[in-house]
Structure 1
Amino acid sequence: MTAPERPLDRTRLTAALEHANLPSLVAVLHQLTGDRRWLADPYRPTRSRGMDDNDLGGFSPEVRAALRAAAADAVTAWADGRPPAVPAPTGEVLAEIMSVAVGEPVPPEYAAMTAEDMGFAPAPVRTAPPNDLRVIVIGAGVSGILAAIKLAEAGIAHVVLEKNADVGGTWLENSYPGAGVDTPSHLYSYSFAPRAWSTHFGKRDEVWAYLRDVADRHGLRERIRFGTEVVSAVYASDDRRWTVRTATGEILTADAVISATGQLNRPKVPPIPGLGRFRGPIFHTAHWPADLDVTGKRIAIVGTGASAMQIVPAIAPDVARLTVFQRSPQWVAPNDVYFSPIEQGAQYLLDHVPYYRLWYRTRLAWNTNDRVHPALQKDDAWEHPERSVNAMNDAHRRVFTRYLEAELDGRPDLVTKALPDYPPFGKRMLLDNGWFAALRRENVDLVTEAVAEITETGVRGVDGAECEADVVVLATGFETHKILFPIDVRGRSGRRIDEVWGPEDARAHLGITTPDFPNLFLTCGPGTVLGHGGSYITTAECQVRYIVDLLVTMLERDIAAVECRPEVEAEYVRRHDEAHERMIWTHPGMDNWYRNDAGRVVSALPWRIVDYWAMTREPDLADFRTEPARR
């Protein structure tokens, strides 16, 4: 962390410190000065409530002033050339600072992962020996961009095949009103590519711009073939190569294929009777027409998941009537800064104060990642399994229920409709972006019926409710269980991968690699979606690191092909399924998109992020059958 080239503006720094996240500032102070008093009372912040940033740290006005004044002195001294006293803490030292910064004990196993993310102990960049290996990456979304960057760093030739006209994946395709992340912006970022985000939770246009910027800074466009949709990928054992065919009939070959198609890339449209009869516009949220003006229109929305929750508050003020068909309600968590801009003072600290951005991101990661994981474990002795899975989960239920009742105060009809009867986190937890306020509007109706039929003029519910509409929006989710769908992927045996897995029962070792499919690697594969919270980008970085490290190892050892051993995958799947049997997503009180119709959880990760980070830290060749390269 080098001092700035230009003199520090002390006046501007002092003003900016009024906008500081003080728990982050405590950690910065200790790193800059080495003074342990900043790790002790009265400078130890309180624990954050939920996902709250806890900017004031629970400190008295006197302590706040002392922290800001000391930080101004320490940052000025650093800018004048004094080196940080603790420049790169790791191990127990880092765990201690983290515990102070987040206001609660941090298990020691988090230190290594955090040190890598913060750059205090970065993972070594492995480069391959001279080689003629060729890799095809399918998709240029979050994972595909990352794979291309890391393959280039390792010196491995590759091409990215992208069906769309630009990078971005789901962030290119989903442009519906209100679209945005429900993970804090600074966490929904690659660890090596920070951004000066304008809001705490980035909206779609800014997230898409971020991905385009990252792709451009790394010169990826010259290695991406846009408008190129893959329809099949077939492995040939005789020459140990993949043959990939595109929608235009073009044929490409590669030694390895990395799938970066994601799980939110193919809209799911249920077979509702009458879909083709409606006289007006009817479409899935992922296909929102760019020229659609909803002003003064009657809108019917089918579904109340994440997309619907973002759309409804965004369009409710403009439409004549908005009718939402809800099959089952969702738990909704409060967040005070969902729409808040990041103030200029706070941005100044992120840009100019050493370590501040790193600690701010680390605290976000702690508050939104694994912290909730214990609350999702079933307690067999718990007395109320119908409403929660353990005492901590029940406490969450009380908090979310009180919030819902306060937001819908005076509307007992809406409370009855909107309050779930299953445990919180049993479905994807949603953030309140004005949802409850929108439900209270006179022009919004919440219908608690599944849809029976689409008519020529609207929507009819299973219990007889009818809604006249000018526009019907299908907020019905994605084909999340059909990994790689609709690509025809065939392995060594010639069988399609969906035949091996079954139509909605995908499985893979680490969610990355599966027997009978040598040199095929998945990102966002089965069982790797973060149901308990956090940023998928963290998972993607784990997976891409594992894949690229394995490819480099293959080249170093003259290995032409690696194929996951069946017993290795079977053991991983056994542990995966056993872990889920102890978790909330197998609770019988609700359906969710994490599990298939047979009840098996296909999508969500059962372990903590730190556990998955450790599992993918280094590939083990003993997990694979290997074939030597031909000389």
Structure 2
Amino acid sequence: MDKITGRPSGDAGVDYAKLRLGVDEGNIPSLLMCLFQMTGDAKWLQPPFAPKRGKGLDDNDSAGLPDALQRQIRDAAYEAITAWLKGGELALPRPSNAQLAHMLSVAMVEDVPEEYGDVIAATMRLEGEVSTPRSQRPLSAIVIGAGVSGICAAIKLAEMGIECRIFEKNTQFGGTWWENRYPGCGVDTPNLTYTFSFRGADWSKYFPLRGEISNYLVETAVEYGLYDRVSFETTVKKAEWIENENRWKVSVTDKDGGTEQHYADLVFSAVGILNMPLVPEIPGLESFTGRVVHTSDWPEDLDVTGKRVAVVGNGASAMQVVPAIAESVSELTIFARSKQWAAPFPQFRKPVPEGVRYLLQIVPLYRAWCEQRLSWTFNDRVHGTLFRDPEWAHPERAVNAINDGHREYFTRYVIEELGDRQDLLPHVLPDYPPFAKRMLLDNGWYRTLRRENVRLIPERLAEVQGDKLVAGSGESASADVLILATGFQAANVLGSYEVVGRGGRVLSDFWDGDNAAAYLGTVVAGFPNFFILLGPNVGAGHGGSMIRSIENQTHYALRIVEEMVRQNALAVDVREDVYTDYSDRVDAAHEKLVWTHPGTENWYRNARGRIVAITPWRNDAFWRMTREANPADFVFKHDRTQNG
């Protein structure tokens, strides 16, 4: 069955009762898009059927329409889907790109730029599946890391006919989703967008929890035969470019401490930016009489039931773990020196109804439109509102008038959630513009702070004295378990192993420690045949699917390799001026955006204040940048003696 516009071969196995249930519970804006394509009747995009605008991040399943109109739409959608399943053709199988952008505008009840139509068409695969060209000569690759990036790279390398070996320090596929096992751990990206484009999933929740994601990644590795290509419990220590051999030497340590050297034409670094825990220096931490755990290394035998627990931090992991354990612990103390904006999260732990799950599986067109709506809502919708307006009169609270409106909306939400605990408001309401730090989703954080057994200390943890924890203000608490929800060394890109490139160039020196940069987040001058996935300035601070960014980078990297093979070159290296110019453009773009707002700290920045973790670009812009590799951007080495 084609992933988007195809249908099951015959409808004999279709459960029409379950389908009817799915249509009755489904998302009306997405059903309207299906109706338009299935019938060709433009009335479904116009009043009275056109959706009304939804609130916040809600899916707007009812489209804000009266019950009678909803029933008319659902009946028509069921009839059209049934006709299609029985062999009918789509009246409009391939809308123009301008039509696609208009359709999404109608579905979202807001303007979607016309140029967005090309990325809609591509992600819906309306031109059919994109085939990966086979390499015309034997090549070998080493993939460092077996998380989302490593899985994606290995699968796409295999499709290109390139032999690859994966080295993974853990005992299983999954990366951060294998390591992070703390209670409440889950994704804050919608399920359909947090799925490989080449392998769907029947998600049970709109925002899956860690276990379901980990299983999905493991099952993907099984389906694509990656277990035959991986070495687990193997830690990469060094990758070195051997110039006279035009290949990489990768030194690894196995689980027994033995060292080995492996060689390959290409290296794909898939270690990500969230793999090195940030453990703060807290005087006396070693004296703590209970257990100290970082959220990324949660022990399987840890049971916090009935215990006094303290949590350091209030970022994404804290906002998940605190509500998850609050009911079971005797006392819960939170040390939170900073404040975070958190958006309403109406889909928190909400299961996908069985009928809707069936509809998503059997009608790929419906699934595709659901994904497009989610992608816009959680990706680029807000990007245009994050630019710093130099004429704005209140830069202390917002970067522009729309951003100020966001502040008012989120402030009202926090006040409502705190209820009778308005005394907490000064300690939780940020004094910086929304989105200047990562926007979090509220997993019940504010309601949890109202509990009698929960105590918020709005200060850093300054010292540990046995079981006594002392804040910077002198306020103290006692605990049996200390949880460090302190995040990762996001600015220390590729800090887990040494990389030595052409002419002995050491990557950490070239980057001057934490000042990482890469052309399109993927290649660095002086490091031939070396590709970084989820590298510098790739993550999306305004929202976006990490998986889509990784797929874009992998596509781009293989287009570079394809050009290298076409030219019969032995090595390819991005030009120094191209690398530098791109880095300058990224910095200049960031200077106009909210994340460089004066006085704001965030984990996107390095020690000198430069943004290294996230992109300034809209997601569709990065998609376009990574479609083709321009040969003029690179230097190709065609013989064994040529240097650069």
Taking structure 1 as the reference length, the TM-score comes to 0.98
Matched, 1:178 2:184: yes
For residues 499-536 of structure 1, give each alpha carbon's deviation from its aligned partner in whole angstroms, at most 9, with x where no partner exists.
11011110111111111111111011111111100111
Matched, 1:208 2:214: yes
SS at match of 2:319: helix
Q: Post-superposition shift, 1:133?
A: 1.1
Equivalent AA in structure 1 for residue 217 of structure 2: L
2:146, 2:270 within 8 Å by CA — same for their partners in 1?
yes
Q: Post-superposition shift, 1:630?
A: 5.2
Provide the C-alpha distance between the structure 2 equivalents of 1:41 and 1:273, rounded to a whole number of angstroms. 64
1:128, 1:556 within 8 Å by CA — same for their partners in 2?
no
Provide the C-alpha distance between the structure 2 equivalents of 1:288 and 1:328, rounded to a whole number of angstroms. 24
Provide the C-alpha distance between the structure 1 equivalents of 2:166 and 2:95, rounded to a whole number of angstroms. 38
SS at match of 1:322: strand
Q: Post-superposition shift, 1:590?
A: 2.1
Equivalent AA in structure 2 for residue 240 of structure 1: N
Matched, 1:149 2:136: no
Provide the C-alpha distance between the structure 2 equivalents of 1:56 and 1:118, rounded to a whole number of angstroms. 23
For residues 203-257 of structure 1, give each alpha carbon's deviation from its aligned partner in whole angstroms, at most 9, with x where no partner exists.
0000101111111111111111111110000112111111000023110011111
| Equivalent position of 2:495 in the other structure | 485
Q: 1:460-499 counterparts in 2 under 5 A?
A: 460-499=470-509
Provide the C-alpha distance between the structure 1 equivalents of 2:363 and 2:235, rounded to a whole number of angstroms. 45
Provide the C-alpha distance between the structure 2 equivalents of 1:198 and 1:23, rounded to a whole number of angstroms. 21
Provide the C-alpha distance between the structure 2 equivalents of 1:464 and 1:440, rounded to a whole number of angstroms. 23
Matched, 1:339 2:349: yes
Aligned-residue CA RMSD (Å): 1.4
Matched, 1:2 2:2: no
Q: 1:50-449 counterparts in 2 under 5 A?
A: 50-122=56-128, 124-247=130-253, 248-449=258-459
Once structures 1 and 2 are overlaid, which stretch shifts more, 120-129 or 313-322? 120-129
2:469, 2:476 within 8 Å by CA — same for their partners in 1?
yes
For residues 45-87 of structure 1, give each alpha carbon's deviation from its aligned partner in whole angstroms, at most 9, with x where no partner exists.
1233222100001112121111111112111211221111112
Q: Post-superposition shift, 1:427?
A: 0.8
| Equivalent position of 2:593 in the other structure | 583
Compared CA separation, residues 365 and 269, structure 1 to 2 (3 A): same
| Equivalent position of 1:14 in the other structure | 20
Provide the C-alpha distance between the structure 1 equivalents of 2:443 and 2:275, rounded to a whole number of angstroms. 24
Provide the C-alpha distance between the structure 2 equivalents of 1:343 and 1:601, rounded to a whole number of angstroms. 41
Provide the C-alpha distance between the structure 1 equivalents of 2:138 and 2:21, rounded to a whole number of angstroms. 56
Provide the C-alpha distance between the structure 2 equivalents of 1:11 and 1:544, rounded to a whole number of angstroms. 41
Provide the C-alpha distance between the structure 2 equivalents of 1:498 and 1:331, rounded to a whole number of angstroms. 33
Provide the C-alpha distance between the structure 1 equivalents of 2:383 and 2:248, rounded to a whole number of angstroms. 39
1:491, 1:516 within 8 Å by CA — same for their partners in 2?
yes
Equivalent AA in structure 1 for residue 420 of structure 2: G
SS at match of 1:613: helix
| Equivalent position of 2:564 in the other structure | 554
1:3, 1:80 within 8 Å by CA — same for their partners in 2?
no
Match of 2:579 among 556, 560, 569: 569
1:128, 1:555 within 8 Å by CA — same for their partners in 2?
no
Provide the C-alpha distance between the structure 2 equivalents of 1:123 and 1:627, rounded to a whole number of angstroms. 33
2:40, 2:91 within 8 Å by CA — same for their partners in 1?
yes
Runs of 5+ consecutive residues of structure 1 not aligned to the other structure: none
Match of 2:540 among 521, 530, 548: 530
Q: Post-superposition shift, 1:3?
A: 4.5
| Equivalent position of 1:613 in the other structure | 623
1:178, 1:311 within 8 Å by CA — same for their partners in 2?
yes
Once structures 1 and 2 are overlaid, which stretch shifts more, 272-281 or 421-430? 272-281
Provide the C-alpha distance between the structure 2 equivalents of 1:610 and 1:505, rounded to a whole number of angstroms. 26
SS at match of 1:381: coil
Once structures 1 and 2 are overlaid, which stretch shifts more, 302-311 or 274-283? 274-283
Provide the C-alpha distance between the structure 1 equivalents of 2:321 and 2:78, rounded to a whole number of angstroms. 43
SS at match of 2:455: strand
SS at match of 2:443: coil
Q: Post-superposition shift, 1:5?
A: 2.3
2:98, 2:115 within 8 Å by CA — same for their partners in 1?
no
Taking structure 2 as the reference length, the TM-score comes to 0.96
Runs of 5+ consecutive residues of structure 2 not aligned to the other structure: 1-5
For residues 392-431 of structure 1, give each alpha carbon's deviation from its aligned partner in whole angstroms, at most 9, with x where no partner exists.
1111111100000000022121111111111011111111
Match of 2:555 among 517, 521, 545: 545
Provide the C-alpha distance between the structure 2 equivalents of 1:563 and 1:353, rounded to a whole number of angstroms. 44
SS at match of 2:535: coil
| Equivalent position of 2:3 in the other structure | none
Match of 1:624 among 628, 634, 641: 634
Compared CA separation, residues 204 and 34, structure 1 to 2 (3 A): same
Q: Work out the number of aligned pairs and report it.
A: 631
Once structures 1 and 2 are overlaid, which stretch shifts more, 520-529 or 123-132? 123-132
